[in-house]
Chain A
Amino acid sequence: MSAPIELPRWADLALVPAISVAAAFVVAGLVVIGIGENPLTVTRILVTGSLGSADAIGFTLYYATNFIFTGLAVAVAFHAGLFNIGGEGQATLAGVGVSLACLNLPFLPAPLLIPAGILAGAAFGAVWAMIPGWLQATRGSHVVITTIMFNFIAATLIVYLLVNVIGRPGSMSPETSEFPVNAHIPTIRAVLGAFGIDQPSTPLNLSLLLALAAAFGVWLLIYRSRLGYAIRTVGAAPGAALYAGISPGRIVVVAMTISGALAGGLAVNELMGAQHRMVLGFTAGYGFVGIAVALMGRSHPAGIVLAALLFGALYQGGAELAFETPTITRDMVVVIGGVLILFAGALEGLFRRFVARSLAFAGRRVKEA
């Protein structure tokens, strides 16, 4: 007989996540002590490595761009009550779309080719997510299962395509030829350089602005539009959706399609913004981490941007850490990320109760005084 714990909005949005993150770092610190390193030193390296220089910030934002896209993808599906685990597969297919557009339309000027690549990526990702959505709506096949299966299908399909169909002829490694220069999304360094501001060379590119625009667009969609209202109704009260005349099946397909298109943004940032060709495994788990980002950001675009920044910093700082402290490998950084996910997602209820009690206690003290 436990009622849901009600908290003031500010505590829900800021205090609880902050405590979760702090607890995660405490536990991660204990792990660090366990392997014989000084957690303070490690923290210093993490912070300076991710935020300590223009160079570090560039990389952090570059990673954060990926997380914004995949986090938004998970969140949109989540508002419709769907758990889209398929970000990896959808981004992989989006990579195929990006590559096909960029390699087959080299004659287009950059202002046309870049949007064409983005749209092709979004479309391929959307279709790859739409199929599980359609199966869920018509056959009742659970989207969690089907999206995971579609990740595997995508992973093998891409190997076949890169080796046999769209791979660079004569190459020993599974990758496409380099995209034409007019398909490269300009780096922030190039853009700022045009205004005379000097920046170190990082892969950070204008996809970051696309990601922020996508976050704003998702916010408008979910909280301000009729379609978003329908999506949220289907997710929160399916009975009420039926009553209102909203077709849950149609909304499931639409929400998954939008979700897949957003996951496609990962391919845009990675392939058109940084690597300029398609390589095997470019999704590198960003799709899965997007789940944690969406959980931590409470499926709200603003929260997702903040959570993406945190995970971006962790990725970049973690790379520095692995480089500076030989005992701490990249795997160790994955552990810290895992602890963070555990505390921010699964164990969040732990602190809600604590926060609610503390606030009630503080409230009583104030009243008595």
Chain B
Amino acid sequence: MTPAIELAGIDKSFGAVHANRSVDLAVMPGSIHGIVGENGAGKSTLMSILYGFYEADAGEIRIGGKPVSIRSPADAIGHGIGMVHQHFMLVEPLTVLENVMLGAEGGALLKGGAGKARAELTRLSEAYGLAIDPDAVVGDLSVGLQQRVEILKALYRGAEILILDEPTAVLTPPEADALFALLAQLKAQGRTVIFITHKLREIMAITDRVSVMRRGEMVATLPTADTSPPALAELMVGRRVLLRVEKAPRAPGPPVLEAVGLDVVDAHGVKRLSDVSLTVHAGEIVGIAGVAGNGQSELLEVLAGLVQPSRGAIKVGGDLLPPHRRHPARLRELGLLHVPEDRLRMGLVPSFPAFESAALGFTGDPAFARKAPLGALFDRDAMVGHARALMDGFDVRPPDPWLRSSKFSGGNQQKLVLAREIERRPKVLLVGQPTRGVDIGAIEFIHRRLIALRDAGVGILLVSVELDEIMGLSDRILAMCGGRITGERRADATDAQDLGLLMGGVSEAA
């Protein structure tokens, strides 16, 4: 059978970075083909070349056996390739119909085109069972429905080959299941799907064949049925990795962080948290499960003193905090430390050398100051030495305290932030998205560290959109939806389905 798409010897460099090294890939028509690899393995570059964002330095693209030249997304669309980006390319104030037509209006006047588009949209919706109102405003739709609009957009333009880039990152488990059902239907109709992800569970669930990339090279292409998650992980990283870190049961100690009835209202007057109460005990990991944007970020911020609650009380180590002590610097003194969700915006200063980022939040440490009359000045040797020690302890690479923070990979930036907070011996640690954008190898390391910290008696509040991570690390799990806590489970007495319902807002009372 002729492959639907064939990439032969694709090579691409950005300056000194060799992003794709002579990559070959053949995708069979009517199949779902998964592409996995760590961050920076070259998946996105390869797909960008296929979709015409970049031009390859060398190599050939063949569609249906014929060599083609794809120099722009318009060329790609012309060859029947559609792409659904991780971050949607939708105009929120416009309707579904208007979004689908955008760029394919069919004339200067909208009227004629709109009629045809409406008919075609209805036909597509019916063919695939996509219940979508063409006149709904896209901004009002849920994330899962917005993704359907993206897929409709591609189908409307006649896409025979659909590329999905990390499509499940923003979905609840039930929404992801709905997506998989849709992809299966597209496949049944003879369309070809390329599915990029780093979640091995999804690869196993829906793909027919899977290709693994590592450091710009295509290291393997296998029938999915012949492989397993551990085998894929090993191919991705190049060594054996533990996907789930073992942890021993441990009896939790006294409460170290308590929140009672927290409400948070944002600058626009919108209520982001309502009536959130939780307790974290010493030696316990409490996971917050939820789809991104359901109040987890606000919860971390209010507990870290970055925003003030409009109602409610917070206790740290058993002491009730008056408002003036709910300040990041005061909370640090109490042993409440915070690994923020967004390391580039908050966790470090991208333009600073690593040793300065390694002091963020702790510049008042007397160890960093010069002797008495020059106390306002830094002792740079001490700062650099401190950073070097952190880097050694957490295997940050390259171990160069002078390197600019932005030049480290995501995983190494995260290790630096974690090292900074963990080495300060917290009593309570708030952790947001500890492994977002982090390679599998580094994930294992970070998980081990968090569990070691728990075993040492630290109370950890873990917020993550990765359900596997929440279930793997936590002792107790709280699910959030719409700014409320919708349920609590012991980690050993729940599963993804159960949590998915809670995350979707089906609360226990209902």
Contacts and interface: CB of A to CB of B under 8 A. Distances in A.
Given A225-B378, A226-B378, A229-B356, A242 B328 contact: yes
B433 to A, nearest CB: 14
Given A224-B378, A225-B378, A243 B363 contact: no
A242 B349 contact: no
- Which residue, A242, A244, A356, has most C-beta atoms of chain B within 10 A? A244
B338 A236 contact: no
Nearest to B304: A243
B349 A237 contact: yes
A283 to B, nearest CB: 32
B376 A244 contact: no
A240 B361 CA distance: 9
A243 B351 contact: no
A245 B359 CA distance: 12
B378 A243 contact: no
A227 B352 CA distance: 15
A18 interface: no
B15 A242 contact: no
Contact of A239 (B15, B329, B346, B369): B346
B352 to A, nearest CB: 7
A138 B404 CA distance: 33
Nearest to B342: A239
Interface string B360-401: 110110000100000011101000000000000000000000
B364 A226 contact: yes
Given A230-B363, A239-B342, A242-B306, A224 B380 contact: yes
A171 B338 CA distance: 66
Contacts of B363: 226, 229-230, 244
A232 interface: yes
Contacts of B16: 360
Nearest to A242: B306
B342 A245 contact: no
A225 B374 CA distance: 9
A240 B349 contact: yes
A220 interface: yes
A224 B348 CA distance: 18
A244 B356 CA distance: 12
B321 to A, nearest CB: 15
A236 B346 CA distance: 11
A243 B340 CA distance: 8
Contact of A245 (B328, B347, B351, B380): B328
B144 to A, nearest CB: 27
A225 B377 contact: yes
Interface in A196-236: 220, 224-227, 229-230, 232-233, 236
B15 A240 contact: no
Closest 5 CB pairs of A and B: A245-B329, A245-B328, A244-B361, A239-B345, A243-B346
